[in-house]
Structure 1
């Protein structure tokens, strides 16, 4: 007898892209209909365009056959080939707040990066590098996902693409304006979860990057998991990792992983505090090779502060966190 946990929906094909940072791959999904729809669009490298061309050809399509691209969130490994597909004739859909975010004044972004970067323990040239990284990312994403050339959709309001209805769920934490997309396929309630829900690992709490709101990342992720709770989802197509059917288990695993992160961060504060977020990250995770490691710490510290487990003293803009003793 056919095992439904091993059977992938015949109406969806997965396109896998090689990327340079963990988890070293990203996925987009082709909904195979007379008017094909792509969910996300790979990374910006030339090889990604070849991946899309080859994946479409395998199913008998050409790039010009793609009716629409629906974007879950504006990270480069998910919007990289939007210009190629748009030029081929596809209509691009994205959350309205994402398109508004892409119009942000670079000077305001720089101010946010400097303030939050300094609070985390960056100094001097390191802050300048983060500002330049953030500006470059904004310029790149604005070029890839041109806001004036996209159709906006609203969170919580179903919208139709090529006669298919999607229910967009606001799921921040990994990215502040992230959309997870629920729809019906082959009698199943299906979720295209982007990077908000992945199995078997936890997505990074990147949220806004090093910017205003970075300390809210873990709480935002918990709100996303609350929004996932209770939905009758049969199958999940994530932006990384395998397609899975254990939806409720993945929610609880992610929630548990966030609590583990928060607990490890509290242990670091207890062990070496008062300490900066950067020092706490090194204690918790070792060498800081990726910004996501620090961003996890910032989000966890925000949650611990909300729970009144830690407090910080600010010296010249730098936060020094310590365990919060109970009031007498």
Structure 2
């Protein structure tokens, strides 16, 4: 984007500034938000790298700040395009707040992670070098995220328990699906109830049901996303500041669109099972999307299969650790 810092026309007065970071994968940008008050607070921090550091320094400067002025950083979830500049802010003196389960996840034994990736990767139809690559990618991500969001240096907060940052109260809402320990954080700004939704609720598209990646729990992703929408539906917000896409005010409409997208995904996977089953998830994904370009496409399939199994629409046969899914016919 031409301007790394945008004051969105629907932002609440001048109290929130948006910083947009260019990233290499879809949707090609990520957003962080600066709450401008005597003790400034940053929600998420963009991606790692020199270009992102320049973005954050220039973005803060446009509002009259530098990194040392930031009182605190609040992290919605531990994906690299949201925690990339945490070290910069932490070293400049900001306190870093993150969900307690996220910090616990970062302390996971790499061998346990490898076991989960191997078992679930095998179940999808991966084998040989493909599984080895998945293990290395998962362990590499764990090492990177542990370095960026150092758990021993962060302040944990609990889901659904309000916490205070520099005199401002936030309500953290557990919104899994895109990421298992994702927090959307609510607060009051200029008489409005607003939500910093991270990647849980975006008006222009549904984020991938990444949840845990290829690991234990991957087949729970779509159901988790539905639970997140259930929790959000219990609340009302005037305005939403998402991690991608524009700031928006049609909160209920975005929930409805997200639910509709999840149901469309589930229907597409059921059609694939009906057309080519019995088949493993990798083959079902190829039938659904053609060439698989992004891991999120396979992860969407896994989450939808878990939902379809829970609804009694599909079943699978385990063949040497690989799941072969077929349509479950109704009992006579």
Fold in common (TM above 0.5)? yes
Name which of 3, 22, 26 aligns with 1:22. 26
1:25-36 residue pairs with structure 2 within 5 A? 25-36=29-40
Q: Deviations over 1:140-179 (max 9, x none)?
A: 0000000000000000100000100000000000000000
Q: Quick check: 1:218 aligned with 2:211?
A: no
Contact 2:10 2:247 in 1 (8 A): no
1:299 equivalent in structure 2: 303
Alpha carbon RMSD of aligned pairs, Å? 0.8
1:8 to 2, 7, 11: 11
How far does residue 7 in structure 1 lie from its aligned partner after superposition?
Answer: 3.1
Contact 2:173 2:185 in 1 (8 A): yes
Query: Is 1:202 the counterpart of 2:215 in the alignment?
Result: no
1:183-213 CA distances to partner (integer Å, 9 max, x unpaired)? 0001110000000000110010000000000
Distance 2:9 2:59 in 1: 21
C-alpha displacement of 1:62: 1.0
What runs of 5+ residues in structure 2 fail to find an aligned partner?
1-7
How many pairs are equivalent? 324
CA distance in 2, matches of 1:84, 1:62: 11
Change (3 A) 1:218 1:233: same
Matched, 1:155 2:150: no
Give the SS at the match of 1:311: strand
Which residue in the other structure is 2:90 paired with? Answer: 86
SS of residue in 1 equivalent to 2:208: coil
TM-score with structure 1 setting the length: 0.98
| TM-score normalised per structure 2 | 0.97
Where in structure 2 are the equivalents of 1:144-183 lying within 5 Å? 144-183=148-187
Shift of 1:6: 4.8
Q: 4+ residue runs of structure 1 moved beyond 2 angstroms?
A: none
C-alpha contact 2:76 2:185 (8 A) present in aligned 1: yes
2-side partners of 1:60 and 1:210: how far apart? 43
SS in 2 for 1:220: helix
Return the alpha-carbon distance in structure 1 between the equivalents of residues 183 and 214 of structure 2: 21
Return the offset for 1:230: 3.2
The match for 1:261 is 265
1:275 to 276, 279, 294: 279
* Counterpart-to-counterpart distance in 2, 1:66 and 1:179: 21
